[in-house]
Structure 1
């Protein structure tokens, strides 16, 4: 056997008989096209990859050559090393090298140097670490092999560690190296190392190494002879950090910088299990995957929140999962290899003040067992290849403590740290709670982070302040919002203007809020940073300038996409969807919410997903899709209620009420809306309470609750005078028209409402006003005048895909004698409530309202209300049509 190898690895492939037999069978057969056969071997650091290739080459019946990654990655260095191992002389190798770079490629070079008989085995170790020119030439050769030439006699055995893609054919078989069973690991421990290992120490080593041959061999090499013999005290961990640094340093050093840093962040988020894995099965060296993942997993939201706090890009996550370095199941991330978690976690083991004693330091030139010399990596070298993360204590377990507010103060280990490090830890905890926990816990963490970061890190402190305010806003806690804004007494520029404007708006001083918030909105025009655009868009929403809000959030979305900041997308899309809702553009709001829901799920931000569900419920309530509205609202409430998301809960409840109104169930809609528009802690979200009043007034008037509707209208009038909502004057006029006792007064208010609608630009609200106007005219026995507004309303509802409202408009048109739409089907009776069905059957049988009331123990007024709901839902005009429909249904 000839060739070059990198590293030594274990002296023999212990416990690899199954893999060797499998390789022998695969290499003996020809390729699928009768030509070359390419077989892959995947093994982690120190798992005996190189030793397996060496044994396979030794056992091959024909010539075999083992070639490792060249020391210098210069163009064509890998091809030169391969041909030098095959050529009888240096001149022949140079001639073959020229052929490899020519039109014939690798096939021509192999034909020039290979003997004419028998198959030849070429073992390529660590191929992904070869130079790009050589990898491309080999990939092109494998894609189009020449079965007639000498290359047809070649068998290729290609090996790589996880995380290093192989340029091999898709159908190439793969042999994966698993951990050693305990008997094989014990044989390795008793191998030719020459050191005597005591019985108790040997069992501990076998337990801690968990069947990893490289870790076991490296631990034996690094432990003092007295410790191995059991005559000197043993450390708490026989497999120390220096052992893992030596074994895994090459793999981690070969990863792209962003992937390496993100892997370290995920390791920190996973935390450290309590003690080593304790075996309890027949094969103690190979714990089951679910047990290993139970100890080394975290929620995606926790990991990404910590990455955002440390400003680590998260786009490499999918690549780490695809490479097998991480395993993703649903909303959880896991390290299949606990040693890799420890080694990756050591990347962040440098404090801001200096290196942590005993940290992960990989000396330059340390060989990866079974591999090649590792890159100079690790905190001890402070090299650019392995950027150090701030040392943070592990986050609490996501299943039990991740969302708990730190009410007892930070632990001593955190108090001893610098203010900046502690602030970033609190910032990470806040992100985790904001993503998927109680939002007031997030508010508390962000507020403490702002205090800890202080003047040392002003940009991060400012972000923490406004994140604390945003968390309190989501919870509907005005006092906490003001407290967060009070943390910035020394703020300057747009930051100060934003804080002053919001403080004035929250304390109901709109005149003082307009100027500073308008300055923030104007300042957003020249910004490119997504978080600053978000702030400007939020200011525009508070001012009621929904056009500017949509524009600014659209720009923030474009910038976040361009910068591949996936973790920001749910938050931006949440704000954009809300701006489109305020503008009455429900289809756009639904599109933004659906995209935001996908982004929230992908990044583990469950609270944002709840808000997106609430928006989708509101959109479905407008389009008349009752099941969809109920489904989205249920999902929003399932997350929003336990996490204190008052804003999402209010939107979801509002959506259910609007769905009831669209279905003609005014009484139920009013009952849902009454708590939302009421003041006090039991009311709805402070920023949504007044926006829901017009819906409540409409439902309350339709269900006979005029006193409650009048009181709500007067409060709405005071709020509309602030000028913070453009559609408010039109909707106020509509409310007054609905409450007007005389027809002429109602006509005047409806006219005023339609005039104001022309200025506000909300087509859906204008259609609702036209519908209400047409209904009022019909009930004043003016059917001819009612048809015009009702037809206009029907057209607008159909354009908005608001089928529930369009159905009511058709029914009202039919009631005026016009051809307003399709006749109802008998099956439509099933859409009525049980009480409505009972009343409809009795009326169809000829009973009067008083007779129905006596029969069902109801008041005549209640029967009349239910009967009007039946007519509206079934698009009927009279008892005659109702009787015919019921008779047809009875069949």
Structure 2
């Protein structure tokens, strides 16, 4: 609704119809005896406390309101809660003991006899409660959400950036800004004696931008003559003092490192506005301290692709070091962890709450008015960033003339929004470079990757020679963006000109450049040093580069080990924004190693982490990995779901690598359903060289799948051309399983005994490559080839080995294929080869199994054992069920594997006539 709600004696609310409806639903659940939890989130000053007061006033039963205590020791908030609920101090102490013990907080609340009537417990400022009390509350709410006991309702408010616990059945409402009619009604109530003059009211409404707390604070500081328009208003009306009143509590409670991050990103966003032109959401600050709230735009944070060269930029951890204060990416990473920063595509950066950036910048400006200083303190030589504009006496610019014209028209509150102020144009090259770096990070996380590449290259040029660490990282990130986009020339452009790069990072750049230009001996020399040097690295970004170097060398075991270590370090340092990238690299390494179960675990965790931090490009790659895993398991619907999500983002953002993996997964799923022609048509573009083909680093990895599919589809000429190119690539030694897979391709294309020779050669080569899954695929192809040439006895061995490997790898689709081929040879396809399973048969069942395995019919077995054929058939069905087989033709292979000491000798008379 618009306007105010005026309950008799209750607080007045504006534009809160949806929120009040949610409160009414909670009250109805409580009255019906089902309980429930309703979360209310909002930024400072948006009315969370007012909504709780109104809910408590309207509630028909008993309502209690509990805020965060000033002292935040362990269990301090729970103590305040029970002091409010308990009839006596002694009862409160008993309840607290119960809550801290095995009873839990839910039972402690019940012990206070609050279930005698409907009760609403309003918990305010949950984000300020101590960790012990929050954990106890979460457990109580989860129990309420699962069992729904009693008539107790919980209405809980928290700051927007606070991560709420997961509670079954809980509802969450998010307070927002007021509409113009709602803000106008609030302004009228704030000035009950005399309405403000129309120009004054419009200016207040415009500058407050629908924020109720800011509007109230701005009105409170004005005098009656100012409201009446007799005296001029401050310029701007919403200045530092107003923002300090509304946001000061939040900023003061943040750790010092978080406050430094806020100030850093605010200045970088200011610089970004100057470089992006009109329409870029950022914060402009003029000489008078006025600023422009931009839209809620997210800034990137250390994301990347699963390409070799994953330069996980995260300079400065969460510890608040001087380097962390100077590095925008480190600031972004910390703010993502704090939940204070939004990130979206397009390369712009800003805050979830635009007033927060202004307040942070104003707070950081306080200690150094009249001078210049890097946000958060520039100990250690950080370059100063001017924020108060150029020296007085500078020639007025076109922007200042436009501002003067606005003032003459009586639009002073808009004068600071007409363009980048002089302070922005005066920013140093380092500040502009950092702005470009942040813009590139934002695009790399959730925008077009080639836009990220251009922004990051510009950042590297601006920072070169001035901030060498950041310049180096910008170049690696630009290469990473180009790799995700499948552009070799752009990768080389990013790797060149990096004179700021030293040591192992120089080896990494040289090795990648040599690999991309097919100088593999040079690439090995440099990249081996990078992989060997990981032992001395504790920085996750350096570890990720070492792991990427191992992938380029084809050493998947080292790649998985190093990436796992990088993940551990990122977690230990609370590098929240870096976790999706580390998990992405680990999932890709496990995928390359053929360990699909491990790849799925890492990809699922990485997907959750990427989505929670807004890194949509990383999420697309994780979806592609999960699609490939699902194609191995034979789950076609899951393949389609993950591949579709990956392709949706990949198409919009130019993620050629993720798109190639997703298309590969779809083709494998189609091949598993017997659609060889359709699968081959899908794979053809992926193995085609050039810009219209698949990703340059994945093309050869797809070829073995294409050869197998193309042969099945009758496209042998294309398969032969691809196999010849693949053989030349396999000889380079950059992929462990490649020589074995090349031999398998030759076997599929050869004829007669030449096929048998190449199959045996492929199996031999597999023994040293370490990829058991690819070895099993070769054994399956070999066993199928033998069976089709009427050699079932020879086929059973390779097929059984393939089946066991597929089962261990949880590759159910491939396992079912192996079982089908094994059944066709007359061999056991399940667990029947286990001797223990045969020993579980009764002696009679063992005799019948032996006789049937020898070729006797049911009638012959019945005659020999003096049974009826019907009894023999009954026992035989029990044998099949116990051994996990489907027909009598599988019994010979089962009995052949029986423990000789446990066999039941079959009398000669049991042999069928003529045998």
TM range (shorter): 0.5 to 0.7
Q: Secondary structure at the match of 2:297?
A: strand
Q: 1:129 to 1:202 in 2, by over 3 A?
A: farther
The answer to whether the aligner puts 1:189 opposite 2:191 as a matched pair is yes
- Structure 1 residues 354, 624: closer, same or farther in 2, change over 3 A? same
**Measured at CA, do residues 300 and 783 of structure 1 come closer, stay the same or move farther in structure 2, by a change above 3 Å?**
same
2:616 aligned with 1:611: no
In the aligned structure 1, how far is the partner of 2:702 from the partner of 2:239? 62
In 2, Cα distance between equivalents of 1:751 and 1:805: 20
Alpha-carbon distance in structure 1 between the residues aligned to 2:80 and 2:332: 33
| Number of the residue aligned with 2:599 | 589
Report the CA distance shift for 1:457/1:518 in structure 2 as closer, same or farther (over 3 A): same
Q: 1:483 to 1:807 in 2, by over 3 A?
A: same
1:795, CA displacement in angstroms? Answer: 2.4
Distance 1:681 1:723, change over 3 A: same
Structure 2: distance between partners of 1:199 and 1:704: 80
Contact kept? 2:540, 2:567, Cα under 8 Å: yes
Aligned match of 2:359? 346
Aligned to 1:128: 70
Would the alpha carbon gap of residues 390 and 606 (structure 1) be closer, same or farther in structure 2, given more than 3 Å must change? farther
Structure 1 residue 137, shift from structure 2 partner: 6.6
Aligned pairs (5 A) from 1:686-701: 686-701=696-711
Report the Cα distance in structure 2 between the residues aligned to 1:221 and 1:379, rounded to whole angstroms. 33
**Structure 1 residue 691, shift from structure 2 partner:** 1.0
Summarize deviations over 1:356-378 as a string: whole Å, max 9, x none: 7899xxxxxxxxxxxxxxxxxx9
Inter-CA distance 729–19: structure 2 relative to 1 (3 Å threshold): same
User: Equivalents in 2 of 1:787, 1:344: separation in Å?
Assistant: 69
1:537·1:552 contact (CA, 8 Å) conserved in 2? yes
**Aligned-partner Cα distance in 2 for 1:814–1:683:** 40
1:420 pairs, out of 425, 430, 448, with 430
1:593-612 deviations in Å (ceiling 9; x for gaps): 11111111111111111111
Residue 480 of structure 2 is aligned to residue 470 of structure 1: yes
Contact 1:350 1:388 in 2 (8 A): no
Q: Distance in 2 between matches of 1:450 and 1:706?
A: 48
- Tell me if the contact between 1:419 and 1:452 (Cα under 8 Å) persists in the aligned partners: yes
* Post-superposition offset of 1:692: 1.1
Alignment of 1:284-303 (within 5 A): 296-299=295-298
Q: Residue by residue, what CA displacement relative to the aligned partner does 1:513-564 show, whole Å, maximum 9, x if unpaired?
A: 1111000011111211100000000000000011110000000000111111
Q: Tell me the secondary structure at the aligned position of residue 346 of structure 1.
A: helix
CA deviation vs aligned residue, 1:555-609 (integer Å, no higher than 9, x gap): 0000111111111111111111111111111111111111111111111111111
Alignment correspondent of 2:507: 497
Residue in 2 aligned with 1:648?
658
Give the superposition deviation at 1:236: 5.9
What's the counterpart of residue 23 of structure 2?
none
Change (3 A) 1:446 1:44: closer
Against the structure 1 CA distance between its residues 454 and 625, is the aligned structure 2 distance closer, same or farther, given a 3 Å change threshold? same
Q: Note if 1:746 corresponds to 2:731.
A: no
2:446 to 424, 429, 436: 436
For 1:18, what is the secondary structure of its paired residue? coil
Q: 1:456 to 1:300 in 2, by over 3 A?
A: closer
The answer for the alignment partner of 2:561 in structure 1 is: 551
How far apart are 1:744 and its partner, in Å?
Answer: 2.2
Matched, 1:238 2:270: no
Counterpart CA distance in 2 for 1:392 and 1:574 is: 39
Distance in 2, Cα, partners of 1:509 & 1:482: 13
Q: Give, in angstroms, the shift of residue 466 of structure 1.
A: 0.6
| Residues 695-750 of structure 1, C-alpha deviations (whole Å, 9 max, x = no match) | 11111222222221221111111111111111111111111111222x22222211
SS of residue in 2 equivalent to 1:463: helix
Aligned equivalent of 1:768, options 777, 790, 809: 777
Write the distance in 2 (CA, Å) between the matches of 1:630 and 1:727: 28
Q: Distance in 2 between matches of 1:330 and 1:466?
A: 20
State the secondary structure of the residue aligned to 2:330: coil
8 Å contact kept, 1:197–1:228: yes
For 2:579, which of 550, 560, 569 is the aligned residue? 569
For 1:297 and 1:442, locate their aligned partners in 2 and report how far apart those are by CA, in whole Å: 19
Q: Is the 8 A contact 1:770 1:789 kept in 2?
A: yes
Structure 2 equivalent of residue 802 of structure 1: 811
Query: In the TM superposition, what whole-angstrom CA distance separates every residue of 1:116-138 from its partner, at most 9, and x where no partner exists?
Result: xxxxxx99998426899987875
Give per-residue Cα distances to partners, 1:762-797, cap 9 Å, x unaligned: 111111111221222233332322222222222222
Instruction: Tell me the secondary structure at the aligned position of residue 88 of structure 2.
Output: coil
Change (3 A) 1:212 1:123: same
CA distance in 1: counterparts of 2:47 and 2:672, whole angstroms: 68
- Does structure 2 conserve the Cα–Cα contact (< 8 Å) formed by 1:349 and 1:389? no
When the two structures are superposed, what TM-score results if normalisation uses the length of structure 2?
A: 0.62
SS of the residue corresponding to residue 238 of structure 1 reads: coil
Q: Does the CA-based 8 Å contact 2:259-2:376 persist in structure 1?
A: no
| Residues 686 and 699 in structure 2, CA contact (< 8 A), matched pair in contact too | yes
CA shift, 1:670, in A, is: 1.9
Matched, 1:782 2:791: yes
Residue 164 (structure 1) shift: 3.7
Q: Return the offset for 1:661.
A: 2.7
Query: How many Å separate the matches in 2 of 1:149 and 1:698?
Result: 75
How far the C-alpha of 1:682 sits from its partner, in A, is 1.4
1:146 matches 2:137: no
Offset, 1:476: 0.9
The two structures, once aligned, show a CA RMSD in angstroms of 5.4
Distance 2:75 2:576 in 1: 33
**More moved, 125-134 vs 244-253:** 125-134
> What are the equivalent positions in structure 2 for 1:296-315 lying under 5 Å apart?
296-299=295-298, 309-312=328-331
1:94-121 per-residue CA deviation (whole Å, 9 max, x = no partner) reads: xxxxxxxxxxxxxxxxxxxxxxxxxxxx
